[in-house]
A and B are shown apart, each in its own frame.
Chain A
Amino acid sequence: MKSISQSIPRPDGMAKADGSALYVADLQFDGTEGGRSPDGAVALGSESGLSKDMLLGRFYRSPYPRGKIRRLQLPECPPGYHIISAADIPQGGKNEIPMAASRDMPCFAENEIRYAGQIVALVAGPDAYEIERLIRAIELEVDETPVVKNIDEALALKGGAIHGEDNIFCRVDLDEGEVDEVFAGAASVVEGVYETGFQEQFYMEGQGLIAWRTGNKCGVRGSMQCPYYVHHAVSHVLGLKHDEIRVIADTIGGGFGGKEDYPEIMGAPLAVASWVSGKPIRMLMDRVEDMAFTSKRHPSRCVYRSALDSEGRILAIDATVDLDGGAYETYTKIVLMRAVFHSLGVYAIPVFRIRGRGIATNTVPSGAFRGFGAPQSLFGIEMHMEEIARRNRCEVLDYKRNYFLKKGDTTVTGGIFRDEIILDKLIAEAERLSGYSGKRIKLGRGKGQGIGMSFILHGCGFTGDGEQKIIKGKAVLKKHRDDKVEILCAAVDFGQGPQTTFRKVVARVLGIEPNTVIFNYPDTDFVPDSGPTVASRTIMIVGYLLQKAAEELKAIWVEGEEQVVEQNYQMPPGMSWDQERLRGDSYATYGWGVNVCEVELDFLTWETKVIGAWAVFDVGRAVDHRVVNGQIQGGMSQALGYGAMEKLEVDSKGQFRQITMADYMVPTSVDFPRTEALTVDNPYLYGAFGAKGMGEMVHDGGHAAFAAAVEQACGKACTTIPLVPETLMEIMEA
């Protein structure tokens, strides 16, 4: 039998290639009540929100960055137009976007403004020109307060606190051993400050949603990763019951986390507008609005201090991890948890103190982006290890090896690494492909060439007992009378592959052809809540539920009968977590990886050129090699972009300066060479066919490998990304 890893053509590939796949901007009303597209995959009738007289919706956003709202004057609305603001939230509903632990972000700004571009009102109507006129006629008066643009200004409490008394949204602290004592007795201390910037997700399809109302039911559909998150947000804001809401995810043109939180922020006010007006409304963001006002990756500043003994060995690490959370907390606490829990990387450090802070500023609320905090702190620890190895005049790989985690070691939260850790095998493959060690020695230092290696671990699935306590994922397999099997779950394929891998998992168990398995985009009227499509949980957690469901279905299979089986998430045996004290197994298991990057540096212009990129990962088992390698290559491209070119700055109002595709640079086909991708099997017992989560860790290490290579090429420490030529010039001329 063929290995499950052997790739199959993507079942969703043809429709995407021939242009027939329908994204939210492509949806056209088919004139029926409950119609569907020819392949049955997409709902096109009026019941699912489409109609001939769908209105156009647009936000009125605050031009002011910060202050108390003194007055909001809305213009007279001509017939057929609607202006919706906080006052329109129906009784029973709340003017809050509910996100994880936080409720601080309002749906419509009501009392204060915290960032330029904050949503104040929504204007809907048939004609774009009239909408524009109405938006211009809205008068907002704000008593302005000085703007906090970054972490330093936030900590200095410029203009008074934005949040609480100290601008700290949340803290995550970890302690092990007597840090101060160890530092007092240390032979030397190495300290470094490591910074990363904003990063734009840059999904190719901008944010887009449609909201509608049928009787007492509110619907939202469009481009989103997490239909049940949107469902929850709408229910909170409108005060509706579970079965009074319907959310449909359509084909989605990329997410990378950018469509995890934003569809709630955008969908809730849109749902209010549609609910109040009774009309279906479509809102599509153009590129500039999308880049200017949707959530980005948290900028970070990590400070690492290491106490060394006289032999240069690490005795203890004292670190701070600060994240710029933007104007509202939203998901910052969970991002911070992940950043802190990954802040010691793949290294076993006996004594440590880590202080994590999520900090309030007056920029767009930072949000989810592939890696979710890990790319930031992993950059910190990897660059710090480079620095320590340099001080010790020893090869960084040899130095790092002394600290590699092993099976049975304790995690930073006091849990246990239960599964085999195969870093040595991964390194051997990376060496074979890239020739790293030989080149590292041959290229010298400061001679314009360099090669860097970085290490990655990534906790799979939700942090702590989130899967068990919060998500409670459920997946269903339904066998129709014609014996066709349908997957019912809320996982969305935004390119990362479940349309392929889920079908393969189910088909393999049942001994059927993958492309006979029905798997439509989720519609909450029909699919159970298997959880959001985030946190590298899809194949490992939901895929595993489907595998179990398929096994059960196989056992009870009766031809020609409709049969339904359901699987609920269960925590793997032995795992435990204390959310109060943040102690225990913060993740069920981990993915591991090694990234290598080789660069050349042009001393005339300080431009870097990546001439080689290699990535070897332990993903448990690849359910499809091409799906997995596609993630690896795409993740590497994003990580290299993050490290090398994706500069995103804020201006004096805290607004982004790079808000067009001409100014925010993502890699094109000629910027980086092919990423040589490889996986080494290390099957995980509780993942689909041994699969672990991997969609995010592919973005965890490329930037650090790149920066390490650039350090070698330029002979100076590179502690800030992106390393654009302007920055490199400053570093080299300093």
Chain B
Amino acid sequence: MVEVFKPTSLAEALRIRADKHAIPFAGGTDLMVRFRARDGMAPSFKSPILFVDALPEFNTIRMFNGGLKIGASLPLSILAGDRGAVNGGTGTGATSGVVPDAAVLATIPGVLKAAAAEVGAPALRNRATIGGNLANASPAGDSIAALYALSAEIILVSLSGERMIPIEKFILGPGEISLKEDEIIHTIHIPAPLPDWTYWRKVGTRRANALTKISLAAAASIKDGRVESCSFAFGAVGPRVIRVHEIESLLQSRFPVVQEAKLKEIIAEAKKFASSMITPIDDQRSTAKYRKTVALNLIGDAIASLVEELKLGD
């Protein structure tokens, strides 16, 4: 029978993690499905379990140097701005009843909020956490695509201290992350400046409670009517979320564009860059061809929306 631990402090959690190599367990929405057993049998966990949902500091969200720091166990319902969660206490770490500051919630970048809001359905979002979504490292993980677009940094802690790692280095492959056996994800840091424009489009198998077939998360900072920096990240089109840096340099400080023809040219070029990087697969949810075609279509949509934003700023 597996051992379970319910630490009440971070220090205790880290000690157990180091001694027992226990699996961090937050909302359990991935773990309970992965280790699901048949009727009459207990979930088939083999390693010790470390509940990290109730650690108070894991349930916080706060401003930090113009960016945001999000505790690993913050439930997605809070990021999504679901009514129930904000007004009624939190789901994960439910016993804590933490209600974050409304002013802080208002700063959550649109792309992250929208991505979180499209994860599963309300009851699921009340338990599912951002840290869990990240650590699960599914190429279809919705908050992951958003965090790529936001150039998030992951803060990992262990008894020997803290380290910070960019999300692109943290995620190694499907279900594979750069996490040492004694480490826990502590915080997700979204560095300043928070973006002025974001884009989120998820194509799922239906309108709610659906896993992602393809997604595009994008963000940009705008200065003097020009794109200062931007990012385009695609979900579910390869073994990892794919950020196409070439598109970003293509768009940087190129705008505003007025002529249609020029815009078309830029979009075509952006698609070319993406096309060489996107290598989706056929599976029970969709086809490689569909995923690729739609991913490319979404680039055009996103760039057009960015250009709209620049015009408005004029």
- Do A and B touch each other in the complex, judged by CB within 8 A? yes
Chain B neighbourhood of A667, CB < 8 A = 206
With a cutoff of 8 Å between Cβ atoms, the chain A residues found around residue B203 in the complex are: 605, 607, 725
> Closest CB-CB distance, B313 to chain A, in whole Å?
24
Interchain pairs with CB closer than 8 A, number: 62
CA distance A607 to B301 in the complex (A): 15
Pick from B39, B209, B211, B290: contact of A668, CB below 8 A. B209
B277 in the interface (beta carbon within 8 A): no
- Among A664-686, those with CB < 8 Å from B are 665, 667-671
How many interface residues does B have (CB within 8 Å)? 25
B11 CB within 8 Å of chain A: no
A668 B287 Cβ-Cβ under 8 A = no
Q: Is the CB of B298 within 8 A of A604?
A: yes
Interface string of A297-330 (1 = CB under 8 A from B): 0000000000000000000000000000000000
User: B285 at interface (Cβ–Cβ under 8 A)?
Assistant: yes
* Contact B284 A663, beta carbon cutoff 8 Å: yes
Q: Is the CB of B205 within 8 A of A645?
A: yes
Are B206's CB and A668's CB within 8 A?
Answer: yes
Q: Are B38 and A726 in contact (CB under 8 A)?
A: no
With contacts A658-B284, A663-B285 taken as known, whether A604 is within 8 angstroms of B294 at the C-beta atoms is yes
B210 on the interface (CB 8 Å rule)? yes
Contacts of B287 in A (CB 8 A): 726
Task: Classify the secondary structure of B's interface with A.
Answer: loop
Cβ distance B261 to chain A, nearest Cβ, rounded Å:
21
Decide: A665 near B208, CB < 8 A? Known: A128-B40, A604-B301, A605-B294. Answer: no
Q: A604-B298, A671-B208 in contact; A726/B284 too (CB < 8 A)? A: no
B293 within 8 A of A: yes
Distance between A280 CB and nearest chain B CB, rounded to angstroms: 15
Q: Does B297 contact A (CB under 8 A)?
A: yes
Task: Tell whether A668 pairs with B284 under 8 Å between CB atoms, given A284-B39, A604-B297, A729-B290.
Answer: no
Docked complex Cα distance between A725 and B206 (Å): 10
Per-residue CB proximity of A714-725 to B under 8 Å, as 1/0?
000000000001
The chain A residue with its CB closest to the CB of B293 is A729
Contacts of B293 in A (CB 8 A): 729, 733
Among residues of A, the one whose C-beta sits closest to the C-beta of B120 is A662
Which B residues are CB-close (under 8 A) to A128? 38-41
A602–B40 alpha-carbon span in the complex (Å) = 46
Q: A33 on the interface (CB 8 Å rule)?
A: no
In the complex formed, the residue of A with least CB distance to B214 is A605
Interface residues as binary, B140-166 with A (CB distance below 8 Å gives 1, 0 otherwise): 000000000000000000000000000
CA distance A726 to B290 in the complex (A): 6
The verdict on A671 contacting B207 (CB below 8 Å), with A604-B301, A726-B286 known, is yes
Bound: A605/B285 CA distance, A:
15
Partner of A665 from B40, B210, B298, B300 at Cβ < 8 Å: B210
Residues in A whose Cβ lies below 8 Å from that of B209: 668
| In the complex, per-residue mask of B18-43: 1 if CB is within 8 Å of any chain A CB, else 0 | 00000000000000000000111100
Q: Which residues of B contact A583 (CB under 8 A)?
A: none
| In the complex with contacts A128-B39, A604-B294, A668-B301 CB distance below 8 A | no
Contact with A along B270-298 (1 / 0, CB 8 A): 00000000000000111101100110011
A residues 276-309 in Cβ contact with B at 8 Å? 284, 286
> If the complex has contacts A604-B294, A645-B205, A669-B208, are A657 and B38 also in contact, measured as CB distance less than 8 A?
no
Expressed in whole angstroms, the Cα–Cα distance for A127 and B39 within the complex equals: 10
Give chain A interface residues in 352-399, CB to chain B under 8 Å.
Answer: none
Q: Which of A215-234 touch B at CB < 8 Å? A: none
In whole angstroms, how far apart are the Cα atoms of A136 and B260 in the complex? Answer: 65
Q: Within A463-516, which residues are at the interface with B (CB < 8 Å)?
A: none
Q: Which residue of B lies closest to A669 (CB)?
A: B208
Q: B206 near A671 (CB under 8 angstroms)?
A: yes
A607 to B209, CA, bound (A): 16
Residues of chain B in range 161-201 having any CB-CB distance to chain A below 8 Å: none
* A314 CA to B314 CA, complexed, in Å: 62
Contact of A662 among B39, B208, B211, B298 (CB under 8 A): B211
Contact at A132–B206, with CB atoms within 8 Å? no
CB distance from B206 to the nearest CB of A (A): 5
Min CB distance A422 to B, Å, is 36
Whether A56 is near chain B, meaning CB under 8 Å from some CB there, is yes
Kindly state the separation between the CA atoms of A658 and B284 in the bound complex, as whole angstroms. Answer: 6
Interface size of A by Cβ–Cβ distance < 8 Å?
Answer: 28
Chain A residue at minimum C-beta to C-beta distance from B205: A665
| B50 shortest CB reach to chain A, Å | 25
Q: Which of A284, A663, A726, A729 has the most CB of B within 10 A?
A: A726
Instruction: Tell whether, in the assembled complex, residue B208 and residue A670 are in contact, meaning their CB atoms are under 8 Å apart.
Output: yes
> Could you tell me if B297 and A668 are in contact, using CB atoms closer than 8 angstroms?
no
A604 / chain B contacts, CB cutoff of 8 Å: 294, 297-298, 300-301
Do A286 and B38 contact each other (CB < 8 Å), given the known contacts A668-B208, A670-B207?
A: yes
Closest to A603 in B: B297
Closest to B209 in A: A668
Q: Does A173 contact B (CB under 8 A)?
A: no
Closest to B291 in A: A726
- Tell me how far the C-beta of A137 lies from the nearest C-beta in chain B, rounded to whole angstroms: 16
Task: Chain B residues near A56: list those with CB within 8 A.
Answer: 39-40
Give min CB distance, A648 to chain B, whole Å. Answer: 10
Q: Which residue of B lies closest to A206 (CB)?
A: B39
Decide: A725 near B208, CB < 8 A? Known: A663-B284, A663-B285.
no
- Smallest CB separation, A673 vs chain B (Å): 11
Is residue A649 contacting chain B, with contact meaning CB distance below 8 A?
yes
The proximity string for A residues 529-553 relative to B, scoring 1 for CB distances below 8 Å and 0 otherwise, is: 0000000000000000000000000
Q: Nearest chain A CB to B128's CB is how many angstroms away?
A: 14
- Check if B39 sits within 8 Å of A132, measured CB to CB: no
CA A649 – CA B284 in complex, angstroms? Answer: 8
Contacts of B211 in A (CB 8 A): 662
Distance A389 CA – B21 CA, assembled complex (angstroms) = 69
Assembly CA distance A287 to B251 (angstroms): 48
CB-CB under 8 A from B208, the residues of chain A are 668-671
The closest CB in chain B to the CB of A728 belongs to B290
Interfacial chain B residues near A129, Cβ < 8 Å? 41
Residues of B within 8 A of A670 (CB): 207-208
Chain A residue numbers with a CB within 8 Å of B290 are: 606, 725-726, 729
Q: Which residues of A lie under 8 Å from residue B41 when comparing CB positions?
A: 128-129, 132
Q: With a CB–CB cut-off of 8 A, which chain A residues contact B207? A: 668, 670-671
**B298 and chain A: residue at smallest CB distance:** A604
A658 to B206, CA, bound (A): 15
- Contact A286–B39 (Cβ < 8 Å): yes
Nearest CB in chain B to that of A641: its residue: B206
* B38, B121, B210 pick with most chain A CB within 10 angstroms: B38
A129-155 interface mask toward B, CB cutoff 8 Å, 1 = contact, 0 = none? Answer: 100100000000000000000000000
Per-residue contact bits, chain A 625-666, to B (CB 8 Å; 1 contact, 0 not):
000000000000000000001000100000001100011010
Complex: chain A residue closest to B297, CB-CB: A604
Q: Which residues of A contact B298 (CB under 8 A)?
A: 604-605
The residue in chain A whose Cβ has the minimal distance to the Cβ of B282 is A726
If A670-B207, A671-B208 touch, does A657 touch B284 (CB 8 Å cutoff)?
A: yes
Q: Annotate B38-60 by CB proximity to A: 1 below 8 A, 0 otherwise.
A: 11110000000000000000000
- Using Cβ atoms and an 8 Å threshold, which residues of chain B touch A606? 290, 294
Closest partner residue, chain B, to A129 (CB atom): B41
1/0 contact trace for B209-238 toward A, CB 8 Å?
A: 111000000000000000000000000000
B286 partner residues in chain A, CB cutoff 8 A: 726
How far is A671 from B206 in the complex, measured between Cα atoms in Å?
A: 7
Q: Can you offer 28 A-B residue contacts whose CB atoms are under 8 A?
A: A56-B40, A58-B38, A127-B40, A128-B38, A128-B40, A128-B41, A132-B38, A132-B41, A284-B39, A286-B39, A604-B294, A604-B298, A604-B301, A605-B297, A607-B203, A645-B205, A645-B206, A649-B284, A657-B284, A658-B284, A667-B206, A668-B208, A669-B208, A670-B208, A671-B207, A725-B203, A726-B286, A726-B289
List chain A positions with a Cβ less than 8 A from chain B. Answer: 56, 58, 127-129, 132, 284, 286, 604-607, 645, 649, 657-658, 662-663, 665, 667-671, 725-726, 729, 733
4 extra interface residue pairs, beta carbon distance < 8 Å, beyond A56-B40, A606-B290, A668-B121: A58-B38, A605-B297, A607-B203, A729-B289
